[in-house]
Chain A
């Protein structure tokens, strides 16, 4: 602490709650960071779905047709667009998590930890993951 605050200024408002935390304007590096966590949690939660996709897609030609049907007719009561939306969320989560992770490796390897580098690499991470998600999403929804 470079300077001492008067006692009144040091009085704390108590435990910070989520509503208080949401008052902060996060820097872009902070946005990348929390999305890194959100995307990881999402993939963790949907892991059985991913393994199910792997299972039906790879096990046999019969099951492969079930894999295709998931995107054509849906799964049970979930319509095809619902399946595609979940897969799109997973695509985004994977891309964001991977690129944000590579950003960490780059920062570790080159000691690129200045505020400016943090901001510019955060922009690259967000732009690249959103761009690739839109591109793959357009393919997923049959736009090209």
Chain B
């Protein structure tokens, strides 16, 4: 299954080198920061109800940050779930189907999330 192309790499379908490793960490850091930003706003004084919750996402800067986090989440989940398929699903055809389904799932979810965010 694994074919050697040249002397340096065994082609298994992954990306190579820094890119996925780094993007997984950058997107994770962004989501961690977002979690803190959201927590701080939730813990601000005042009753915790619809007004406060919706008010947090009404601010334009929060919309921009949340949108960036949606993109980060989709990218992060793609790299992670693709790793799961590559580890456990060996038939290439089935793996391709699952990978495409993953992309459809994530892009669809992201479209819904962005719609919710930006119609506020």
Report yes or no: B57 in contact with A58, Cβ–Cβ below 8 A. Answer: yes
CA distance A96 to B116 in the complex (A): 27
Report yes or no: B53 in contact with A57, Cβ–Cβ below 8 A. Answer: yes
User: Does residue A47 face the partner (Cβ distance < 8 Å to B)?
Assistant: yes
User: Does residue B28 face the partner (Cβ distance < 8 Å to A)?
Assistant: yes
User: Does residue B86 face the partner (Cβ distance < 8 Å to A)?
Assistant: no
What 0/1 pattern do residues 89 to 120 of B give for CB contact below 8 A with A?
Answer: 00000000000000001100100110010011
Q: How far is the CB of B13 from chain A (nearest CB, A)?
A: 18
In the complex, which residue of chain B has the Cβ closest to the Cβ of A36? Answer: B80
Report yes or no: A44 in contact with B113, Cβ–Cβ below 8 A. Answer: no
Report yes or no: A61 in contact with B77, Cβ–Cβ below 8 A. Answer: no
Report yes or no: A102 in contact with B113, Cβ–Cβ below 8 A. Answer: no
Chain A, range 29-74, C-beta contacts under 8 Å to B: 37, 40-41, 43-44, 47-48, 51, 54-55, 57-59, 61, 64
Partner of A40, one of B80, B109, B112, B116: B80
Report yes or no: A59 in contact with B120, Cβ–Cβ below 8 A. Answer: yes
Residues of A within 8 A of B (CB): 37, 40-41, 43-44, 47-48, 51, 54-55, 57-59, 61, 64, 98, 101-102, 104-105, 108
